[in-house]
Amino acid sequence: MNDKQFRSKSRLQTIVFVRSGLADYVKRYKFINVVREGGGVKKADGTAQRMPHYSNVFPFEVFDNPAYNGQSIPKDVIELSCGIMRRQSVSWKIQTQERNVCRKFGHVSKLYISIGPHQVPIVYRSEYNVSFVGLEKLHPFDATKWRHVFQYLKDAGLVNEETVAKPNEATVEDLLLVHTKQYLDSLKWSWNVATIAEIPLIAFVPNFLIQSCYLRPMRFQTGGSILAGKLALERGWAINIGGGFHHCSSNKGGGFCPYADITLLINFLLKYEQQHVKSAMIVDLDAHQGNGHEHDFLKHSNVYIFDMYNCGIYPRDVQAKNAIRRKVELYNRTEDTEYLYKESLGEFHPDILIYNAGTDILDGDCLGLMAISSEGIVRRDELVFMKAHQRKIPIVMLTSGGYLKKTARIIADSILNLNQKGLISKKQTFSRHNQMDLTIDIVLMTDM
């Protein structure tokens, strides 16, 4: 038995095969939607696909039938997902399986993966972290803050390696949905990457090292942002421990941002989730102006941008400001203050909210030059999530900028506070691909 024998005609189909002893169980939940023929399956075109060693085989498309959601199925289950067969040796909870691939000009993206009922929509993997033979220390950015955030959350019992959602790396084909080929080709030159990363010395480093040590982690984080968009639609919320590269547009990077993950996140949703997402809001509360996504959405009335930033620092992009629908310009040493995006949510009701939660507004940050306390950041994040929750708007949080060593602790504390306040643990209403409203209980185990 090999993959080619069982490769589905449509890669969007998930099929489950069960032994004959489970036939009654399957019938009881009305899973059957094709005719069984002994050891094979009669396909729609009338031909038979043989399944050696298995009789009474019952395939069904999982993501189109809600009847099984949350139901338990006995042992001895064989699952064929996108042509790959694997044996489940333990009891398995059937859950709604989403499309875990999406098509683009003949390209099949693997960024939209499904997560199990035991997992939470917190996105991270160890490949996020940048290690560049010590050169990363020449930039004030903490190149391993994402690992520290995850470790703090793990220590608190919120997530672990089994429950966190692990994204795939964004491929060139994925990136071409937004980026120009010319821009992606420019990243093959070390000098260009050195300018984006703001570390001049890496201009003299062979590009293959730059690709593996810096750009590859950024592509994983970009894939994480795109996945978080999908998960937010399903669960009502999602947090990518990385991402938030708001200085990168489709044809230009900068400010340590080589890929336009925010633009990609939104464009993936607008393209592949058209039934559910027709408009989006970006709430950018990083200390810096989000000029990258602003350039990309200059002429898009269905993308509302709220940006509050220190107008006295990088990037001072006057043209990009034309894309901002609600602008709040702050100044050096701004202290704790009420964040005023409430008015924006009242005048524009998006299908999804992308929250760029930069922590470089923290007092003492050498690049943000503001003076917000750690408690102010926790309160800010709570306020954003609370307003989105009240309006039943799916929300994606990206961690974005933050250049102090203690930033990771503050991000983790904020996420733990959201969990404690029930803003990422209450019942959430979300729409499935089959246009049915379902409710799911998200249970986050924490020692808090």
**Rounded CA separation 196/205 (Å):** 14
Note every long-range contact of 440-446, with CB atoms under 8 Å and residues 24 or more positions apart, other chains counting.
440/234, 440/235, 442/120, 442/121, 442/235, 442/236, 444/120, 444/158, 444/419, 445/157, 445/158, 446/156, 446/157, 446/158, 446/416, 446/419, 446/420
Catalytic residue among 179, 246, 247, 389: 247
b/e per residue 180-191 (b: at least 16 CB within 10 A) = eeebeebbeebe
Contact 357, 400 (CB under 8 A): yes
Q: Could you tell me the two tokens for 223? A: 């894939």
Q: What angle do CA 99, 102, 103 make, to 5 degrees?
A: 145
Contact 435, 275 (CB under 8 A): yes
**Rounded CA separation 207/189 (Å):** 6
- Examine the residue annotation and report whether 288 is marked as an active-site residue of this protein: no
The type of residue at 215 is: L
Determine phi and psi for 217, rounding to 5 degrees: -55, -40
Residues that are catalytic: 247
